[in-house]
Amino acid sequence: MKSICFFIFLIFICSCQQRNQKKINKSLNLSLPDFTANDILSNLTYNRKSFVNNQSKGLYLHFWATWCGPCELEFPAFIKYAKKFENRNLHFVTMAVNDRPKAIKKFLRKFGKLPKNMIILMEPNELSLRFGTSKLPETFLLDRNGAYFAKFIGPQNWGSQYYTEQLENNFLKD
């Protein structure tokens, strides 16, 4: 019974947080810094230039961890959301914070094949601290030049039409 009450409480807290996080704050002066990191699954090496180029429409930079309960609850929806944009030159870069490759691989096995636009990296050089990340999960939407556009704190309802509209209206117009 206690676990059911806790779960209901967690859903309530997350839903309250989601309503509050939909406001886009364009006042932050952040951009994707230089970094180098290996993809946990493919072992390919990525850096800032991998995502900031003429073909890219932008990227989501998602800080998360396998040990984070809200991250675990949110992750399936984030994967589904990334899949919607798989062929639209939009990257979904996930940075595992204070985690171990073995734990990450075990966690990811639950989801089968990930969308080809989703990259799973170990957080390099405390990148989340440079972005001022206060808790997990936390997601940044960056433009094609790696400049900050939006920040989403806490778990989000990625299935909401709001997020799709933000992308369509600000990044995917041709």
Q: What is the pLDDT of residues 2-57, one digit of tens each?
A: 555 444 444 434 433 443 344 444 445 678 888 889 999 999 999 888 888 767 88
Name the band, by pLDDT with cuts 50, 70 and 90, for residue 103.
very high
Average pLDDT rounded to a whole number, residues 140-162: 92
Distance CA 53, CA 145 (A): 7
Tell me: pLDDT of 124 over 70.
Answer: yes
3-state secondary structure of 61: strand
How far are the Cα atoms of 1, 15, 25, 58, 154 from residue 91, in angstroms, in the given order? 41, 26, 21, 7, 20
pLDDT in tens, 51-98: 887 678 899 999 999 999 999 999 999 999 999 999 998 999 999 999
Going from the C-alpha of 126 to that of each of 24, 67, 98, 133, 160, the distances in angstroms are 24, 17, 9, 10, 30
- Other C-beta atoms lying within 10 Å of the C-beta of residue 44: 11
* Position 157 pLDDT exceeds 90: yes
Tell me the domains of the chain and their CATH numbers. 2-170 (3.40.30.10)
For 26-40, the pLDDT digits (tens) are: 445 678 888 889 999
Relative to beta strand 90-96, strand 148-153 is unpaired
pLDDT at position 12 is 38
CB 71 within 8 A of CB 102: no
**Nearest by Cα to 70 from 128, 26, 6:** 6
Residue 168 has what pLDDT? Answer: 85
> What is the dihedral sign for C-alpha 120, 124, 126, 128?
negative
Residue 93 has phi, psi (to 5 degrees) of: -100, 115
Could you tell me the pLDDT band of residue 171, with boundaries at 50, 70 and 90? confident
Give residues with Cβ within 8 angstroms of 19, minimum separation 6.
none
Q: How confident is the model at residue 117 (pLDDT cuts 50, 70, 90)?
A: very high
**pLDDT band at residue 172 using 50, 70 and 90 as cut-offs:** confident
